[in-house]
Amino acid sequence: MKRSITSVWKLMGLMLFAGATLVSCEKNEDGFEEAEVVSAELAEPSFTNYLIISKEDETSKKAALNFLKNTENISIVRALPEIGMTVINTKDASLLTKAREQNLTVIPDYEIKWIPTAEATQASLADGEYFYDIGYMWGLDAISAPAAWDLGFTGKGASVYVLDSGIDPDHYDLAPNVNTELSISFIANESYVVSDDIGFNHGTHVAGTIAAADTNYGIIGVAPEAELVAVKVLSERTGSGPFSAINAGLMYAGDMGADVVNMSLGATFRKSGWLTDADGNDYHIPAVYIRDIIAAQQRAVNYAVSKGTTVIASAGNDSQNYDGLSSYIKLPGGLNNVVTVSATAPQAYYPGLPDQNFDIPSSYTTHGRSLVDVAAPGGDFDGPSYGLDGILSAGNNNGFYFSSGTSMAAPHVSGVAALVIAKNGKMSPKEVQRQLENSADKVDGNGKSVFLGQGRINALRAVTE
């Protein structure tokens, strides 16, 4: 029986979401300028939370935690002893000097914008229709997901942890698959459950693409029977979050036995020390801080991967070719052991027209053989039918939105990874990536493509070859 859908929300404007990486080879981490000396600039710090990082051996980790626990005027906000990292709160800059004297790395726990804000406009689409059946979810056809479902591959038994801005666990199409007991927030004063007054929510949209259930209501995800776990690492209102929240979210997913982590988020940094804060302001920090931030997040990624979790992230939407761009780095995209995803789209898509090409590189997608592993539908906004060229997925309060970005491409890959793992049982992240790459369609010629990496993913081939 069809259920009435009173409206669909349409995201008008490009959603710029970054992130990505390469599992199969080492990233180029050269290009750092000489480390700048940390000086009295912290005498009156504008930050009160700091990352304290020890060496990775067990003796150093224990010594660091003991020092911090036994030092007055330091409050431990979050301890991540497995990767030698502790978040502290203090207003006494002299204590930071003492920490450095203990051979500990001290950097502010910078809060930056990982997801830009965007305006949305309500648009009325036909009531009571299934959006897949009427052709609005072209991305599923582009990757042959329905053909995989027809063979019984639906992702049942696999789990995908969505590191993002929360989720609406009561959305009709998501509720059957969201594990509310495991879902968690690492953002202060915000639940993983997104507030009712928010319409479009990035995390909810991403989750719908991965694993919206087959409810005959509105949409369906790539892996419609996979388990979804919301791990809130970004504010639902600003798209901002501290590095420590993302690192903690990665560790949590690994500890909970996540099969896949989806990270449709990211930011670009200059290795010489330029950083953009949560308010969009560019400012210079010591280059050594950038290096330490990279090392800390790499530890968190490696920890999750060591637990058997496949980490998938978006490549970014700055239209840049990152081949040879060694003075810049994307996080988490520029790290090792993360699968990088670029975006594809049709040109002026319209349901029902024959012989439409779904594999045009999106106008905004970040690219480069050194960065991108695979490609997936992310949509675009440059055609006369914009909206339909985008990716339709869930919004809060049983709503639906179109959105475009590599943030929309990554969850297609996470869904296919869930199909692969559900079929084969527990797999190492390298095995999962190898299967995704080997089964991808070489739509841009043989070899590794500048825009599409090893090719555009194919769900059917991923579970049958």
Residues with active-site annotation: 164, 202, 407
Q: Residues 148-176, buried b or exposed e (16+ Cβ, 10 A)?
A: bbeeebbbbebbbbbbbbbbbbebbbbbe
Comparing C-alpha atoms, which of 373, 410, 338 is closest to residue 162? 410
Comparing C-alpha atoms, which of 336, 165, 152, 301 is closest to residue 241? 165
- The DSSP call for residue 82 is G
Phi-psi sector, 231: left (phi>0), alpha (psi -120 to 50), beta: beta
**SS3 breakdown of the chain: % helix, strand, coil, rounded to 5?**
25, 25, 50
- Look up tokens 């909810």; give the residue: 204
Q: What backbone phi and psi angles, to 5 degrees, belong to 231?
A: -125, 100
- Look up tokens 């009160």; give the residue: 48
Give the span between the Cα atoms of 310 and 229, in whole angstroms: 14
Q: Retrieve residue 334's tokens.
A: 């520029």
Give the span between the Cα atoms of 291 and 100, in whole angstroms: 16
Comparing C-alpha atoms, which of 410, 407, 81 is closest to residue 248? 81
Give the span between the Cα atoms of 167 and 183, in whole angstroms: 9
The 3-state secondary structure of 69-80 reads HCCCCCEEEEEE
**DSSP result, 170-201:** T-TTTTTTB-TTT-EE-STT--SBPPTT----
Residues in the chain: 465
Q: Retrieve residue 132's tokens.
A: 């897949």
Give the span between the Cα atoms of 108 and 89, in whole angstroms: 10
Give the span between the Cα atoms of 7 and 31, in whole angstroms: 50
Q: From residue 70, give the alpha-carbon distance in Å to each of 16, 63, 65, 74, 187.
A: 43, 11, 9, 9, 26
Give the span between the Cα atoms of 120 and 104, in whole angstroms: 45
- Look up tokens 């369609």; give the residue: 441
